[in-house]
Amino acid sequence: AAPPAAFGRREAPRRDPASFRLFASGSGDPGESADDDGPRDYLAELSWLPPLDPTKEIEEIDPEASPQTMVLPLFPLGSTAYLPHSDHILNIFEPRYRQMYSDILFNGSRRFAVPVSNPETGRLATVAPVFYLEDLKEVSEQTDDAVKYVCSHKVIGRVRINRTLNDKVWGDRTTYLKAVVEPLEDGDDDEDLSTRERTLTDRFASIIENQTKLQEPVRFTENLKATLSAARGEDGLWRMAGLWQSLTQNRLAAKESELSDEIQKLLRQYLESQGQDMRSKVTVQFDSLPAEIRAEFTRLQQQYREESAAMVSATIYPFVLLVQCDTHAERLSVFGEMLEEEKKRLQAKVALQSLFSGGMGGADAKGLDEPPTEA
């Protein structure tokens, strides 16, 4: 059956095109927070490798002599979180990664690990998703060799990186990094977590209902509720996490659109005051604008940077932590807290609306729908 249609009038990049709409206007229950000191610092909970050491001797691993040692190429892709069972297309242009793709095709592995990097130190995460190359198109002729390959991948699992083998090449870019890794599997596959899974699914469904009630600018659609599951596997919690990641990415895109609209409005008002029309092709140099207009541009950009900083982090580090979790139970708790933060945000929004409306009409904070509680 086809997935439920769920996106509306204006779309932004997302992982799942049938998830939500962009409207132009612990060990207990998953996600119960132990304190109210503010949002959880997911970045601080991530585990990182030691800094790459360009002076370290290159270590060679003989696959015949060490058949139990797994070595994978590393393809760090900055600050992007990739979840198991997701699909991704990469354009390959750097010489070192052109070589990597040639190598994984030649040896038949078709696999490489994609660790996120710490935004402050550049250190690589110790746990990384594994990409499997499903399709490769040679496009150098069409792109005048600016791009060599367009590659389609599926994330097929996770690995823990034990050590890097050739740190020196990260600096001189002569080739790609390699590392000794071990597959990472959940350690609680035999544990029955169905009650906690139902609780988390109900909480997700309740948030969808409350987003609709509050007419959130970016929100899931109601028909998504019937498809939710927090169980293990591709169609369970990993899918829910992917949906949530798409929500955070679309919120960020909406914020970027908001900034663009504000700048367009400011420029349009200025041009109209000068007797010009933006619909005609007008070139305006920033330095030629009046000081007060430049100051307003700068204020808008600074406001965007401040408001979007937390939004950018929300699209990355909670999901990297989900990848790092070594049990399904731990992952349920982390994702539950992500939902709890959204619930609190919605409650704060209701309280603010009630304050400005004098407490008359509309939903109040207590009026938000609550999921049923498991006995």
Tens-binned pLDDT, residue by residue, of the chain (375 aa):
333 333 232 333 344 444 445 443 344 556 554 455 678 899 999 999 999 999 999 999 988 888 899 999 999 987 789 999 999 999 999 999 999 999 999 999 999 999 999 999 999 999 999 999 999 999 999 999 999 999 999 999 999 999 999 999 999 999 999 999 999 999 999 999 999 999 999 999 999 999 999 999 999 999 999 999 999 999 999 999 999 999 999 999 999 999 999 988 888 888 888 877 766 666 778 888 889 999 998 999 998 988 888 899 999 999 999 999 999 999 999 999 999 999 999 998 888 887 877 654 444 444 566 665 443
Task: Name the token pair of 337.
Answer: 């807290």
- CA 271, CA 173: separation in Å to the nearest integer? 48
Helix (H, G, I), strand (E, B) or coil at 153: strand
Q: Cα separations (Å) of 143 from 100, 136, 264?
A: 20, 15, 33
- CA 98, CA 106: separation in Å to the nearest integer? 12
Distance of CA 302 to the CA centre of its chain: 23
C-beta of residue 105 within 8 angstroms of C-beta of residue 133: yes
C-beta of residue 102 within 8 angstroms of C-beta of residue 127: no
C-beta of residue 178 within 8 angstroms of C-beta of residue 71: yes
Looking at residue 367, its pLDDT comes to 55
What are the residues whose beta carbons fall under 8 Å from the beta carbon of 236, sequence distance 6 or more? Answer: 197, 229, 230
- CA 315, CA 48: separation in Å to the nearest integer? 19
3-state helix vs strand vs coil in the chain, percent to 5? 40, 15, 45
C-beta of residue 220 within 8 angstroms of C-beta of residue 247: yes
Looking at residue 84, its pLDDT comes to 97
Instruction: Indicate whether this model's pTM tops 0.95.
Output: no
Task: Name the token pair of 143.
Answer: 């792109």
